């Protein structure tokens, strides 16, 4: 599951609707919505994000957070290391090969390192 999928599921459960009901209301198939909620689909289009936000009547700040989660939830990530030193490419490829083997603790540690690097920008 992705952060976006988790957020959509929570919103849907709070509203008390099924995937089928929500899918019908926002104009997608229940199979697509299910795949989206299970992280098996890529980032939804901006149009679909707007329909989801409208469906839940969420205010702008909450919608912005939902859109941000969607941007950070694409399960098929591409890391472009063209023009960077070889160590960057090796790291990106190593992560791609081993991501499924990493423990939640290691994932948390890597996320913390990335968060610290953002605050240094």
Q: Are residues 20 and 67 in the same domain?
A: yes
Rounded distance between C-alpha atoms, residue 63 and residue 115, angstroms: 23
Q: Are residues 25 and 54 in the same domain?
A: yes
- Name 20's Cβ contacts closer than 8 Å, sequence gap at least 6: 30
Q: Are residues 104 and 63 in the same domain?
A: no
Over residues 25-71, the pLDDT tens digits come to: 999 999 999 998 888 887 889 999 999 999 999 988 888 999 999 88
Rounded distance between C-alpha atoms, residue 63 and residue 52, angstroms: 9
Rounded distance between C-alpha atoms, residue 25 and residue 18, angstroms: 11
What is the gyration radius of the CA atoms in the chain, in angstroms? 17
CATH code, 20: 1.10.260.40
Residue at 81 is within a domain: no
Q: Are residues 47 and 93 in the same domain?
A: no
Residue at 93 is within a domain: yes
Over residues 68-81, the pLDDT tens digits come to: 998 888 777 889 99
Over residues 80-100, the pLDDT tens digits come to: 999 999 999 999 999 999 999
Residue at 78 is within a domain: no
Residue at 98 is within a domain: yes
Q: Are residues 51 and 90 in the same domain?
A: no
Task: Domain count for the chain, please give it.
Answer: 2
Q: Coil, helix or strand for 43? A: coil
Residue ranges making up the domain that contains 30: 3-71
Q: Which of 11, 77, 13, 15 is nearest to 43 (CA)?
A: 77
Whether the full predicted model's pTM is greater than 0.85, yes or no, is no
């Amino acid at each position: 599951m992705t952060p976006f999928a988790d957020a959509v599921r929570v919103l849907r459960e709070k509203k008390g609707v099924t995937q089928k009901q929500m899918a019908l209301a926002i104009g997608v198939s229940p199979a697509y919505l299910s795949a989206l909620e299970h992280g098996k689909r890529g980032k939804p289009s901006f149009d679909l994000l707007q329909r989801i936000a409208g469906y839940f009547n969420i205010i702008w700040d909450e919608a912005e957070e939902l859109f941000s989660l969607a941007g950070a939830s694409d399960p098929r990530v591409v890391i472009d290391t063209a023009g960077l030193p070889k160590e960057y490419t090796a790291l990106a490829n190593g992560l791609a090969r081993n991501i499924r083997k990493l423990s939640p603790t290691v994932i948390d540690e890597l996320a913390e390192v990335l968060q610290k690097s953002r605050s240094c920008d």
